[in-house]
Structure 1
Amino acid sequence: MSAAGGLRGGFRGWATVRRLPLALGLALLLWILGAATGSLLNGPSEALLDQVGLGLAVGPGPWWSIFTSAFFASSLLDYLACTAAILVGVGIAERVMGPWVALAAFVAGSALSALVLVALVAFGTDASDQWLSFLGGEYVVGAYGGAAAALGCSTAALDALWRRRLRTWLLAATLMFALFVGVAQTLQALAGAVMGILAGWAVQSLMLRRRAGSLHSSTLRETRFLVGTVVGVFAVGPLLTQLTGTWEIGPLSVVSDVMLQASPDADEVKEACNNDTNCVTLQGIVGVQSFGAAILTLIPVLLLLVCAEGLRRGRRLAYRLTLVIQAYLAAVTVLSIVQYVTDPDVALGDDDFGYLLLYAVPAVLAPVIIVALLLANRHKFRVESSDAGYRVLGRTSLILAVAAIVLYVAFWFVEGNPGRSTLWDLAGQLTHILVPFPVPFVVALPQGLLSTVVYGLGGDIIWLCILVLVLNNFRRFRMLATDPAADLGHTRELLHDGGGTLSWMALWDNNQYWFTPDRKAGVAYQVHNGVALTVAGPFGAEEHHAEAATGFLKHCAGLGLTPCFYSATAALDGPLLPRGFRKLEVAEETLLNVQAMTFKGKEWQNVRTALNRAGKLSIKDHWYPYQGMPPGVRAQLAEISEEWVADKALPEMGFTLGGLNELKDPEVLCCVALDDEGLVHGVTSWLPVFRNGVISGWTLDFMRRRTTGFKGVMEFLIASAVTHFKEDVPRISLSGSPLANAGADTVEGDRSSLDRVLALLGNALEPMYGFKSLAAFKSRFQPEHRTLYMYYQDPLALPSIGIAVGSAYLPGLSPAQSAGLLRQMVAREPAA
């Protein structure tokens, strides 16, 4: 590392300490006390716990233990976990509320959550509760209650979007740990989270005099987010119980037994293999004790997490899959309980019935509650994939399943398994391959190399492929336009009523359309990576633009899309900013006041030189639509365009950059620089801008010049446009230069992640497309500048939006071109 790099790293580290002195100080105090008392490896000694720990089974302990218990941990792993909880919970609270309020929230939260925990244990002991009477030990230490309380309290100072989101995540995480792990620290964290959120709500309502507010989006999005969070918690919880080993005692800890495939121990494998050494070895390498078996354990978790993401997007496929999975889990749990209760070898006592009520009933109720939640909100999940997407998913899944069945049955017979197993065993083994969840009956293990390989890895291959297909299915939509030709025609009609300088681009290919209920305004957009990326702002009569913008947000919410208005003017501040949107500058539009331009003065020397040179070379400007051009001129335009594209390592760009196809619109005007011999030196195209049925301006789009043409042909063409349009419209637009100023004029520390992505993309494309040089060229005409913005609502969607912008401008990139673009984006210096 260079000295400068090391110095910058040191400054950043010191800046972090200055921003989070309280969180870092509390974490340091935790470790200093642990080291001083020899508690880092195995926790405090019994004598020390009697003084600083919160007593559960031996009485509550001294009064100060409700404070001191937060500054110790039970093991090295617990010290690491407490440190993470402090840095996250107290760190966020410190940044939001300040160090003193955050410290008060941490200390008060630690004490109050400790009192709640003692009260719960006392209640459980009096009621002889199997869970609350013993929560994993005699003493409790840990900073979880205080950290959760500080984080919950800090949400009061956040804006509506992050306040609701952080509260949901905090409650979901602490509730998951409490129900699935269930030790005392998890209950204390849940109590701290609840009290912190309540305290934050009280501060927000009584002191800050602010209402709870909303996300400023439809309840549809909120409901989907909540249901997806519930399903996600239920997915991760069983995995927690397996990772925590024998610690888990929560009411839902047994769910992992019916949801996750359990790997048999060595004795069980030997018994299933009849002590055959070769069989035992195979099971350890490619069978039920192999890496493939560990992957199969994760499949149900991944499947439910994919479903949770689909539910957040409102996907019907995710809704159906979740219903089937939860119904299956409930049925298997009930069947397992019935088998246990009716087993003649099992004699149930009072304690057994208590454990059944504590663990079996919640294990059944959890999936039943999720099913009921889904059914009650079934109308919220109506977003369907395309028919082609469903066909690909169904066909591929069927092919994988049939191939696995055929191969396994063939190997099973060839390797002599019929002599050791029955056909019923074969059916059970096929169930193990095709169903990622445990089956409620004993399955014999196969013997033989090939059958064991398919048995151990077949389910992994099938379900990982299905997961990828399901995720890909979430990216597809049924045709959003019932009649694309009619929508295109209506869009053209509305564009004559009004729109911005870039609105005519709505008629280009790859666009979808949404119209207000009265069809007096609309929005053109493209869907990429789950983002609805608009082509500029709304079009139609200007008085309907605000209604169209807010209506489009509801349309996106219904489809589970992330709305993003791209290359829009500040006119959208009114309808969007009050709804929690932020804006980012993406381009500077150059506007020319043609009626005031005379090309006199020193600053116009380059333009006058181009006009004079064109006159000497007998080059004139010819104006006509593409269809009105002589065939020879059209042929030369195609030749010039192909020559320009051939010089680029990447394909021709789209979205807000037109090509040769966009010239063919009959209402688009072209200006061609022709000499006396009919040679085309350059061409520009101009898009009309309408207001109330009358052309009010023109926008420059297509610009191409012959490489052997005269040097100032573009200055000549734009100067000709100024003269041509001067009598008809007050001003014309030279359009914006996309990505030319991404990342410019921003302080490094204040730049958003998307701004950095756009800057990288712009720098990578600059050597090939010259956006910055194009912007510099336009500045020669002394234009007025108008900023074009990108409006977005959710900061967590910025990576998806960045990918969507790249996909819109460069659709259909080949893998090689994508790799080259990525290399250019991460390069320190742009290629020459």
Structure 2
Amino acid sequence: MGSTLVAVTTDRRRSLPFATLTLAAIVIAVSVVSMNAGAFRGASVYDLRAIVLTLARVDDPATLPVVVIAVVLVCGWAERLMGGARMLFAYACGGVVTSAAGLAVGGWETNLFPAIPLGESPATGATPVPALLAVAMAASCFTGALWRRRVRGACLVSAVTVFLYAASASDLFSLLALPVGLGAGVLLGGRRAGMRGQRSSHHEVRVLLCALTAITAVGPIVATLWGSGAGLLSVYGWLSYDPLVVADAVTCAAGSTIVPCPDAASYHELQPSAGWIAALPLVVLLVAAWGILRGRLAALGVAITVNLLVFAGMTALFVVSEPDMLALLAQVRGTDASGAWQSLVGLLAAALVPLGVAVTLFVCRRSVSVPPTTSAVGSFFASISIGAATVSVLSLAGGLLAAADFSPRPTVGELLRDVPLRLLPPSLLPGGWVHAVPTTAVSQALWYLPSAVFWTVCVAATARLVFSRSSVQGAEDRVRAREMLQRGCGSLGFMATWPGNTYWFAGEADAGFAYRLHGGVAVTLGGAFGADRCREEIGAAFVEFCGDNGWIPVFYSVDDAAATALDALQWRRTRVADEAVLDPRTWTPAGKKRQDVRTATNRAHREGVRAQWVSWSALTLVDRVQIREISEAWVADKSIPEMGFTLGTVDEAADPAARLMLARDASERIVAVTTWIPVFGEEGLTGYALDVMRRRHDAMNGIMEFLIGAVVEQLRADGCTLLSLSGSPLAPHRGGDTGDLSAVDRFLETLSGALEPAYGFRSLAHFKNKFQPQFCPLWVVYPDAIHLPAIALALLRCYVPGLSLAGAARLAVRMRTSRRSSTSTV
């Protein structure tokens, strides 16, 4: 009773972040006093007292509530991870060190490199925002692999973005707070992994690519709305300004030699809101970013193309821009004319950023693997082409009819030459390219509307390409295959619905195959599915289909029933795995050989660990984040890339037909997860097959035995007749002597041994043996041994999509190294 009371009291203390609430109160008090009485001002920036007080001071009343909320969220999270004292140390000491470093860097840059745009020089110490970044970086040293990478990535991207695009004095402090906070976290006892790279799942790579694309799209808006004009990429803010200005009631183009701007006391843009047209290409990038997150290959192509177009445009601006012209533009826009050289340097940097983004997206393209249909791509390009042609024709016709409304009056040749320029947002048009300016409302409409209409069409076409389900290659076939699967399939049959598969359907029969094509080898994922899947002519028809296309057919991981149906081909077959099968109606944990299962179950009950059978849609956001974190930690430990084909990921668990069995500890934290795919027979759902197993490093021993035992009980209650622990891919079959194996068997034995240190296929097979299941062989059926080299490479590419020959060689070296290190450890 006493220990229970202590535990409850401890939980309550943890739920009340006293240090965070105290810090939030201090920020409110200092800010209110400073706003009302002007206190703490006028002190030297090198005064320690002033620096400390600045860390808790917000001068803008509208910003104060936002900062207080950020303090509660960031510091509250950090306090739960590393305690109140450590959090306050990271905030106070991290902020002071950041202030000192920022003042030193600002003075150094101003005195030694005035021509290089690094930002405004600091006039005060760091504000609460850099201190919060230092806290977040320090707290990341106390998190798991997933949140460590996400928190650091978010802090790095946000700090670098505002520093490069906005570059206020506070932004310099934010950038310097990152290494300061990381050092504070290590000093306080956090992990010393630093910023070293870790292997990520395909989902996490897509998250990072999405963030990179979105941030570079939002950056120019940051430069426009909040930029100081002194940042390295502040030149993007200039691109939102309309080159057409009015000076002394005269419309002119800044930087133009034909319609130059006169010397005047003041200038204002002809259409101040015209700069928002330049945001439409950024909207295209944001739509593409969302598509990248969903794995759409078309979205990746759009993002790469737009970034390359921006690179080409910024390069052209850099080539044609001169310091004198930039000085004139600075004068027109009311900025410091001495920044002309800074703008020239900024143009060069602004050209390299989109190029770097495009290269990064291309290099990481293998994690974005959902291809579009040919018709969807054709429709996309048709929409863009028709929109461009229509806008160009109307713009030319309008220019001919309203030529008198421009000054000076353009010739037909000049109108024809300027037609492609009408597709550019007006603010992106260099003033030196302007030969005539609009002087009436009609001519202004002809100047501004064409680009707005064209880029609106681009946004709509991109959204249709990215969001439409019908634009995904094989979407209709996947729906048809899903319906056929429910009329009969093997235990691995539901894997046919996963992305990356192509489908073949029998003409007259209710049957089909899911296959993947690599190097002229068509590898099926299991046997046929559908009500007629066991008819002999189905396999022969698929072989004929492959022969018509010049492919080598291979039937991989087929069960006895499917292999028997293929006997009429008189092909070779080799046993590639053993599927562990249980009957939930009769299986019990009784018996000496199942002692581990009973022990794990009893320990789980003692420690308050419970199992939960649930679908992905029923999970909360917090639950999903925990599952992702567990999975990312598992992937980070692997020496080779995340594999696919017959090896699922957490992404496939989101299917409405799939189920998860979770293990929750006494505090309701998810400590382990297993995912299960349905198996259908002639009468419908017959059971489930195991797909993914993941656990936390600190989960209790035997957690997986406990979960599988719980699944048996669940399926028994649901009246299911089958529970499959699946096969262990490439694991050697049970029994037999290695010396009696055929050449194919020896090849699979070698490949299994090479992959064992990374994926543990043999260990997985040994684990399944604890349940004393019935082992059913899975076969690969192939035409002739002469095709084995091509088949082996095709199988490797199925498991590691996008693998090239060079990549396969590097992977073999890593596997060999991993195997040697494992052997030496043993």
After TM superposition, give the deviation of residue 146 of structure 1 in Å: 1.1
What is the one-letter code of the residue matched to 1:321? Answer: V
Matched, 1:477 2:472: yes
State the TM-score, normalized to the length of structure 2: 0.53
Q: String of CA shifts for 1:320-352, please: whole Å, max 9, x gaps.
A: 3333333333333333333333869989xx977
Q: Judge conservation of contact 2:485–2:494 (CA < 8 Å) in 1.
A: no
Q: Which residue of 1 aligns with 2:247?
A: 267
Matched, 1:172 2:172: no
How is 1:494-509 mapped onto 2 (pairs within 5 angstroms)?
494-495=489-490
Q: Which residue of 2 aligns with 1:336?
A: 317
**1:426 paired residue among 410, 415, 421:** 415
Q: Judge conservation of contact 2:119–2:167 (CA < 8 Å) in 1.
A: no
**1:321 paired residue among 293, 298, 302:** 302
Q: Judge conservation of contact 1:172–1:233 (CA < 8 Å) in 2.
A: yes
Change (3 A) 1:108 1:523: farther
Q: Which residue of 1 aligns with 2:536?
A: none
Q: Judge conservation of contact 1:312–1:560 (CA < 8 Å) in 2.
A: no
What is the one-letter code of the residue matched to 2:719? Answer: S
Q: Judge conservation of contact 1:272–1:445 (CA < 8 Å) in 2.
A: yes
**1:99 paired residue among 84, 99, 102:** 84
Distance 2:414 2:420 in 1: 10
Q: Judge conservation of contact 1:499–1:691 (CA < 8 Å) in 2.
A: no
Q: Judge conservation of contact 2:27–2:57 (CA < 8 Å) in 1.
A: yes
Distance 1:690 1:85 in 2: 48
Distance 1:132 1:150 in 2: 28
What is the one-letter code of the residue matched to 2:225? Answer: L
After TM superposition, give the deviation of residue 484 of structure 1 in Å: 9.8
Q: String of CA shifts for 1:793-824, please: whole Å, max 9, x gaps.
A: xxxxxxxxxxxxxxxxxxxxxxxxxxxxxxxx
Distance 1:363 1:417 in 2: 38
Q: Which moved more, 1:402-411 or 1:487-496?
A: 487-496
Distance 2:417 2:649 in 1: 41
2:160 is paired with a residue whose SS is helix
1:310 is paired with a residue whose SS is helix
Q: Judge conservation of contact 2:102–2:173 (CA < 8 Å) in 1.
A: yes
Q: Judge conservation of contact 1:497–1:690 (CA < 8 Å) in 2.
A: no
Q: Judge conservation of contact 1:23–1:86 (CA < 8 Å) in 2.
A: yes
Q: Which residue of 2 aligns with 1:280?
A: none
Change (3 A) 1:136 1:418: same
What is the one-letter code of the residue matched to 1:406? Answer: V
How is 1:597-636 mapped onto 2 (pairs within 5 angstroms)?
none
Q: Judge conservation of contact 2:371–2:472 (CA < 8 Å) in 1.
A: yes
Q: Which residue of 2 aligns with 1:237?
A: 219
Q: Which residue of 1 aligns with 2:429?
A: 439
Q: Judge conservation of contact 2:54–2:127 (CA < 8 Å) in 1.
A: yes
Q: Which moved more, 1:141-150 or 1:477-486?
A: 477-486
After TM superposition, give the deviation of residue 151 of structure 1 in Å: 1.4
What is the one-letter code of the residue matched to 1:435? Answer: L
Q: Judge conservation of contact 2:489–2:529 (CA < 8 Å) in 1.
A: no
Distance 1:460 1:484 in 2: 38
What is the one-letter code of the residue matched to 1:83? Answer: V
What is the one-letter code of the residue matched to 1:89? Answer: V
How is 1:766-785 mapped onto 2 (pairs within 5 angstroms)?
none
Q: Judge conservation of contact 2:399–2:446 (CA < 8 Å) in 1.
A: no
Matched, 1:251 2:232: yes
How is 1:110-129 mapped onto 2 (pairs within 5 angstroms)?
110-129=95-114
What is the one-letter code of the residue matched to 2:251? Answer: E
Q: Which residue of 2 aligns with 1:225?
A: 207
Q: Which residue of 1 aligns with 2:375?
A: 388
Distance 1:499 1:377 in 2: 28
What is the one-letter code of the residue matched to 1:564? Answer: A
Q: String of CA shifts for 1:365-408, please: whole Å, max 9, x gaps.
A: 32332344345445555542112211222222233333323333
Distance 2:558 2:491 in 1: 9
Distance 1:98 1:345 in 2: 53
Percentage of pairs with the same residue: 17
Q: Which residue of 1 aligns with 2:25?
A: 28
Q: Which residue of 2 aligns with 1:9?
A: none
2:141 is paired with a residue whose SS is helix
What is the one-letter code of the residue matched to 1:472? Answer: R
State the TM-score, normalized to the length of structure 1: 0.53
Q: Which residue of 2 aligns with 1:733?
A: 719
Q: String of CA shifts for 1:235-256, please: whole Å, max 9, x gaps.
A: 21111111125x2411111123
Distance 2:225 2:35 in 1: 27
Change (3 A) 1:90 1:394: same
Distance 2:492 2:353 in 1: 55
How is 1:323-472 mapped onto 2 (pairs within 5 angstroms)?
323-341=304-322, 355=342, 358-377=345-364, 379-417=366-404, 420=407, 421-422=409-410, 423=412, 426-427=415-416, 430-431=419-420, 433-436=422-425, 438-440=428-430, 441-442=433-434, 444-446=436-438, 449=441, 452-453=444-445, 455-472=447-464
Change (3 A) 1:415 1:155: same
Change (3 A) 1:87 1:522: farther
1:271 is paired with a residue whose SS is strand
After TM superposition, give the deviation of residue 70 of structure 1 in Å: 0.5
After TM superposition, give the deviation of residue 362 of structure 1 in Å: 1.9
Q: String of CA shifts for 1:491-511, please: whole Å, max 9, x gaps.
A: 9775279999x99xx999999
After TM superposition, give the deviation of residue 164 of structure 1 in Å: 1.6
After TM superposition, give the deviation of residue 564 of structure 1 in Å: 1.4
Q: Judge conservation of contact 1:494–1:539 (CA < 8 Å) in 2.
A: no
Q: Which residue of 1 aligns with 2:626?
A: none
Distance 1:443 1:426 in 2: 10
Alignment length (residue pairs): 541
Matched, 1:687 2:673: no
Matched, 1:301 2:391: no
Distance 1:545 1:107 in 2: 58
How is 1:570-585 mapped onto 2 (pairs within 5 angstroms)?
none
Q: Judge conservation of contact 2:119–2:172 (CA < 8 Å) in 1.
A: no
Q: String of CA shifts for 1:83-121, please: whole Å, max 9, x gaps.
A: 354244324323444433322221122112112212212
Distance 1:392 1:381 in 2: 21
1:138 is paired with a residue whose SS is coil
Distance 2:444 2:392 in 1: 13
After TM superposition, give the deviation of residue 168 of structure 1 in Å: 1.0
How is 1:162-201 mapped onto 2 (pairs within 5 angstroms)?
162-200=147-185
Change (3 A) 1:691 1:585: closer
Change (3 A) 1:117 1:517: farther
How is 1:630-709 mapped onto 2 (pairs within 5 angstroms)?
668=682, 686-687=683-684, 689=686
**1:146 paired residue among 104, 109, 131:** 131
1:33 is paired with a residue whose SS is helix
Distance 1:435 1:520 in 2: 52
Q: Judge conservation of contact 1:315–1:382 (CA < 8 Å) in 2.
A: yes
How is 1:519-538 mapped onto 2 (pairs within 5 angstroms)?
519-520=525-526
Change (3 A) 1:222 1:517: farther
After TM superposition, give the deviation of residue 356 of structure 1 in Å: 5.7
Distance 1:227 1:268 in 2: 48
